[in-house]
A and B are shown apart, each in its own frame.
Chain A
Amino acid sequence: MAYIRRNDKSFGIKQTPKETLEKWYYLMALGRTLDERAPNYLKQAIGWSYHAPYAGHDGIQLAIGQIFEKNIDHLFPYYRDMLTAISAGMTGEEIILNGISKATDPSSGGRHMSNHFAKPEWNVHNVSSCTGNHTQQASGVGRAFKRYNHKGVVISSQGESSVSEGYVYEAINGASNEELPVIFVFQDNGYGISVPKKDQTANRKAANNFLGFKNLQVFHCNGKDVFDSMNTMSEAKKWVIENQKPAIVHASCVRIHSHSNSDRHELYRDKGELEYVQAADPLAKYRRMLVNYGRFTEDELNAIDEKVKQEVKAAHKAALAAPDPDPKSIYDFLFPDAYAAGKFGNGVHTETGTPVKLIEALNTTLKEEFRSNPDTFIWGQDMANKDKGGIFNVSKGLQQEFGPERVFNGPIAEDYILGTANGMSRYSDKLRLVVEGAEFADYFWPAMEQFVDSAHDYWRSNGKFSPNITIRLASGGYIGGGLYHSQNIESALASIPGVRIVYPSFADDAAGLLRTSIRSKGITVFMEPKALYNSPKAATVVPDGFEVPFGKARIRRQGTDLSIITYGNTTHMSIDAAERLEKEFGYKVEVVDIRSLVPLDKETIIASVKKTSKALIVHEDKVFAGFGGELAAIVAEEAFTYLDGPVMRVGATNTPVGFNRILEAAILPNEQKIFDAALSLIKY
């Protein structure tokens, strides 16, 4: 490659206009003053207990912020990106408000860790502490850019060590395959806390691991040098926009200080090293160049330093005076607004006619919702290839009707499937995304980190951002599927605040809850009992436009002697057991299908127990640590005085689900086990 003189590049010490050089120096001086002052807040017990100093990354961070255009581009900064945030437009006061976790902190109102700088209004995103996982969200925004023909670029920033995470590879693989306009910046300071980068990956520069990825351009720059960083970031942005393909910018930096204020780098770096990283200080270098090349006098720079000092003083004062978060606000922004599904009251109906199967009810509802809302998208593994639509054909015909832009296959990367849904949500809150989270619910585990992270988003951003996603999962057993094809995962998911979980057992409820999920803001896990897709038992009449609100149970059978509280596959077994108990013994057993685990209809459950004085909790999942434990505890706590017997539970054994049908039958609950338990409880 022919040598391009530095003096001929877009930015350089000789050719860059003085105002620009001055603006940069001001931003860098402001950033550094805050970076150096941050530890004082901890020493004075004011806050900012997590601070990861950026000194040594100055060039690349200045450049990221400078090429970012508010409201056009999207930026995912990481915890070390203080100067990036300042360079993108955040003020010193905003930085301190985040640092000391004030109610007016623009990133999260004091909810998220300090040093997680964000301004969601400008699309400077509030990201997770799960380091580097926003790469997948960046790819998701990139996909939305493509779908909506948006001209801009997504910038994701992280350290070099977090590139080792599998989700980063998924994100970049996806961006390469889908040709997404994303710049992934790796700020390489040689360490992940105390771990030298040689223990992360074989290439000295992690970006070079991606050289075989198609459609991807890898750029390298000196992240300690303002001009090289500015030239490279500008070039990368231009390349990405012109080619509509992703790029990586690998910026070579140094970490001048410890990883954070809980790290002591003297434990693993010798004196010589501490000296040479200090000598490579990018701000000192920039300042020297400004003077040596005659662009500024010492006096001029000293005046800027003084201005920064005064400004930081004022920002400090203002931030200290800002209000702290109110402890009463902890429940705010846990869930964004659900669609007000009121047309059918609490989601019941008395319509008669021809029953449709559960699978058809789902398919029809998906199509209806996709027809009425053009901002809907669905993807997953096996989503669409000719006559195959969804691993169980639930989404059959969708791609033919709505096209491959809205209905498409995802790679075998569950985390990416969910992570890009989170990302697409960030493009606009009008989007409603449906994903087949995994082919089988128990393959959802690889997506757990995006799930947990997405569950936090609305709360963590203080209500500024909610991922609007329906996660469909084909769940449960009775199909002889064995491990990974038969298990239930709802109890694990229910332990994570911020997501709704529904689990219908009849076609009408499935249709009604799916409609509500797709129309709602927030995340809904939509569990589909796959054994019931084609079951005549689950088939019902589905009224046109049927709606079921969240958090409303449905009494599927009235009774006075015992309440069975259940959901999913076991609703049907419970109803059958109840019928037999009436036929054989004359007992009247009430069956409450909760339909919705989160939010939960406590009132209907308690009212039923008041009436019957006996509660049997039944579900397919393991009894031990299953969701029934929560139900039983609620009944015991809130309906104790009405109870005439112990709260009992029926469910799977505390084992994996075996493949051989004999093992499966021994493990999972069935009508007989429910019948026996019910009878003994009635007789108690």
Chain B
Amino acid sequence: MEKLFLSEFPELSRETLRFIKKGFDTSYRAFSREYGDTIEAVFDPVLYFLVWFEKLLQNSPWPLVLICFLAIIYFGSRKISVTVGSLFAFLLIGIFGMWEDTMSTVSIIGVCTLLSIGIGIPVGVLMAKSERAQRICTPILDVMQTMPSFVYLIPVVMLLGIGKIPGLLAVVIYAIPPIIRLTNLGIREVDSEVLEAADAFGANPRQKLFQIQLPLALPTIFAGINQTIMMALAMVVIASMIGVKGLGQPVLKAITNQYFAMGLFNGLAIVALAIIFDRVSQSFGHRIQQHRSGARE
């Protein structure tokens, strides 16, 4: 008896375990039956926007879209090399028949990034302003970042089913922590003497936030946005399991059917997108930093 007790961990009986898990799932299911539709309705505007954006990218003439992309890339990075590299990457993507999927992925990444910025920056500001908010948010962010990404899919699917919005939600939940963390960090790092000067001149909290803290935190916030985009790209493949269109779906198909070449091509397209997003957002972030240190004459 005793030997058995030590060699095997005393666990709850199977009955109890099943009871707990089942109880949890049942109540969550009840919750989602009750509120699923309402929550879905809340996201309707986002869905419309996402669909509109995706259609816009897919249905406009490809040269026009390409030119717009290259223009954005050039004005973001101010680098010919990055722009030319991107041109070749997009041409290859098109030639290998991945244009449509790439447009889907770009649109969902775009919307996810906008959502993450829209939610993440205010939350980050709140965390920076209130110690209590920081105490509450930090462990939640820790969990969000370490939880295996697949686990996000389960409650989202239970709540909203399969489709674009649940996929979008899963991506945003997965990708949002860096922007929240770095907004918080950037604001907290602002020189206290500069803030004291603002106080001494009678700035109110709003003026301090918008004229001093946010502008000075901007380079750090931008590093957060960069990380968020990268994480969103990584998650987009996983989210394709629950109906997010784009480059992730062929990858998934390639895995199940053991099509190595197909997986490789789509994988490379994702890599290309990641590199482009990264270079552009990094050199953009770098530029605002130079501007503030006065290097731009």
Report if A and B associate in a common complex: no
- A interface residue numbers (CB < 8 A to B): none
